[in-house]
Structure 1
């Protein structure tokens, strides 16, 4: 007899329907076809042990399992449950009248318990799109999948429970989540707040500008000056995620297996801070079955690279294209996968190996040329793609011990949202552009018009600092953002002057 069940394979951040056909006939062999990897092939032992545990038998006949379409490689252990249920029906040990109305995924342990799997959110989205009645999956994944409406999410804890449900002997209520309620209740819950930061008003200003225009930032200063502390608080002043952005972000984390069992929707902007020993594949994404890297996990949020010069040169150079295109394309011989990568890059670094070059109180002990060599670890093309270069100075004792209440993230965020609202209106006819930092060159010329006095100022700065054409565009974009924060329709000279000062690493002789 032939039985048919349905599973799914994740490709990139989307899922494809997989038909699992089981045929039990004359013979004694076990065959699995349809490009299964080793983990899928090993399901035979897991399924056999689980069936015996609950009193069922593995057919001692010829069993052929086909995973269609046969030209897509199937990976992982999540096909155990649909294969086990298909074998039971094909061998006529049970009757499942509604088996083909559900997408089924889950890894079996030897005692028949179900372990959680990755990527259930895109699978649930695909199941609804294909018109299935429901999705049977491990209980630990049910909350994550339940943010997809109009689909019965049936969370089960064991093979026996799944059999009982499909036979109609057990009534399992679908897991239901009020997605909008979770989303709106989680928007303003941030662990860090700018009200904890004493002093550093110029850095807070730079962060506010960056958040308003979606600009990349590099902070350079001595150890202990507060660079990491300030970076961690940036998500708290970014505009809240839209529901669509939250779903996009959750989907990526689902594919990567980064969602915990008690979470369903990521409603806050992600903050990723990889260690400087990270490889280029781990940062960008890849592998035999391409998986999202750190830059995709920080999609719609912040990627923080602490101690930037300590990262391998090759790792930093792979950032250049994603920073421009806002996506990553992973190409293999038979597949090409796109991962979204619309993130804000926040980097920090010491000015020299000892950390005290240009320090107001401590003396730098680095020898001649060492400072410049240290800064040269970060390439010019990468620096060109970073809009704001901010010098961080140590906080004075009087500021650290001050009891004066500082501005909270909430009040800064209100100004940021007003500035972003102007940009939403400005770019309403350009679906690929959401903020000033994303403006292409032709749009910069049209939108970032400056006065004759502003042109003279910018020309002088370009000649003295030796700025590139890309840096010219960056200055205009930042000036446009500063004007938006001031609710000004035109870019004034003072806006341009403030934008120019954020190109400190372009200054000739900055490091001696």
Structure 2
């Protein structure tokens, strides 16, 4: 008799169905697992054997073969323990095989039979719902998987609970979904003294998802302002929250089964490798660009990142997705993020300060910011200089709008964009508009067009730069509540575009 159980194998955020075929046949005692298992899957036989022994279930002295089908799909991870155990229990006729065949299972087994939480419960629930099966998982993974309302999620603490459930002794109740985690970021823009132009750029960046580059002396407030960006961004929509949580589930950073409505804010150190930023490593896991999907990726000390790492950002910034290509895997991850970069004007940081500038100025600044290539710099919609704040200004009373006030304006602008791009696949903000759509939403009068054309000719704007100016101007108009673009909107957008980072 061959018993069948079902689980999943992960290719990025996609969970592919894997059939676990269990056969117990006459022959010399053996326990083999075939079907391209990795080391963790191969070791499952010892965990499963010991976990069953803890329930006083001894495996027969026969040949046990576990086939993971399709056999040409690599199987990685410890979540295959539970489906293998279910297949054995069904083959031994301890639990009904038809009930097992209607369930997708994933979970790691400890030696005493307890179920250990694993990664990817939410994508697994999505796959189970597509095939009209229930999902069986550890208790700790249940709240995460239960967010997929189309799937019945059964969460168990131990293998004994699983046996009792399938035999009808103690039927487990469906798991309830975790709580919605709210943003508890107490940082407020009013904490930033001065820097009104930088705050304005931050608001425009948040309203239209425009990439922002800040250059300024050490201690001028670049990192401080970037840390307050999540406080002015609107909460994730239900679709965005699901997209982001799927990636976080695979990466193992989903907090206690709860879906967060706060936008991700990722800030990797400048020593991070390419695999950490873009994705890769064992199992082609998502990188920081994907974990920042629908949120913010803040790269402080931007020129200090490896040149190769910086150049790999060019394609994800433009397309909103990244392919992690390896010899045995080609995985696509979504990565529609808001890139915020901060840099000092030179290695010593005081290029613009006559009292402290090094003797190598201006070559010092040219060499330092020259690490950022022209094509990468061209992808930043907003470029601003962040001047130092005088010590005397730090004692001034707090002024300017709070994060809550700015967030209201950003939310109104985002609502306008949501209505504008309704029904247009892949378009959510002004930064996503291109082609015919961009032409339709950025109709210019003769005065505005003349200004933009003259600026493009004089400063040598690329076609990409020209279109990015239009997108930023559209966002500025949305913040002003204007349906049409006017000369002041174009002028302000140009003022952020024409600041050369190498002149900072």
**Other-structure match for 2:351:** 357
Q: CA deviation at 1:237?
A: 1.2
Contact 1:97 1:167 in 2 (8 A): no
Correspondence for 1:373: 367
The CA distance in 1 between the partners of 2:149 and 2:335, in whole Å, is 26
SS of the residue corresponding to residue 419 of structure 1 reads helix
| Cα deviation, residue 498, structure 1 | 1.3
Map Cα deviations across residues 32-91 of structure 1 (whole Å, 9 max, x no partner).
222212211111111112222232213221101111122211111111111122223323
- 2:90 is the counterpart of 1:89: yes
Contact 2:284 2:329 in 1 (8 A): no
Contact 2:141 2:257 (8 Å CA) reproduced: no
Structure 2 partner of 1:19: 19
Shift of 1:124: 0.6
For the 8 Å contact 1:139–1:156, the answer to whether it is kept is yes
Tell me the equivalent position of 1:348: 342
Matches for 1:245-394 after TM superposition, within 5 Å: 245-260=240-255, 262-287=256-281, 289-332=283-326, 335-359=329-353, 362-365=355-358, 367-368=360-361, 369-394=363-388
Question: Equivalents in 1 of 2:468, 2:289: separation in Å?
Answer: 21
- In 1, the alpha carbon distance for the partners of 2:344 and 2:88 equals 61
Contact kept in structure 2, 1:424 and 1:434, CA below 8 Å: yes
The C-alpha deviation readout for 1:481-502, integer Å capped at 9, x for no partner, is 1111111222222222211111
- Count of aligned pairs: 502
- Which position in structure 1 is the counterpart of 2:106? 105
**1:395 Cα offset (Å):** 2.4
After TM superposition, the score normalised by the length of structure 2 is: 0.94
TM-score (norm 1): 0.92
Partners of 2:467 and 2:359 in 1: how far apart?
A: 35
State yes or no: 1:126 paired with 2:119: no
Name the SS for the 2:22 alignment partner.
strand
Contact conserved, 1:467 with 1:506, CA < 8 A, in 2?
Answer: no
- The aligned counterpart of 1:57 is 58
Distance 2:464 2:109 in 1: 54
**Which position in structure 2 is the counterpart of 1:233?**
228
Which ranges of structure 2 fall in alignment gaps of 5 or more residues? Answer: none
- Structure 1 residues 5 and 197: alpha-carbon distance in aligned structure 2, compared to 1, 3 A threshold: same
Per-residue displacement from partner, 1:269-305 (whole Å, max 9, x unpaired)? 1011111111222211123532211111111000110
CA distance in 2, matches of 1:56, 1:114: 17
Structure 1 counterpart of 2:396, from 402, 422, 425: 402
Aligned 8 A contact 2:142 2:257 in 1:
no
Give the match's secondary structure for 1:78: helix
Give the equivalent residue in structure 1 for 2:206. Answer: 211
Q: How far apart are 1:202 and its partner, in Å? A: 1.3
Are the counterparts in 1 of residues 95 and 166 from structure 2 also a CA contact under 8 Å?
A: no
Aligned partners of 1:304 and 1:94: how far apart in 2? 52
CA contact (8 A) 1:387 1:478 kept: yes
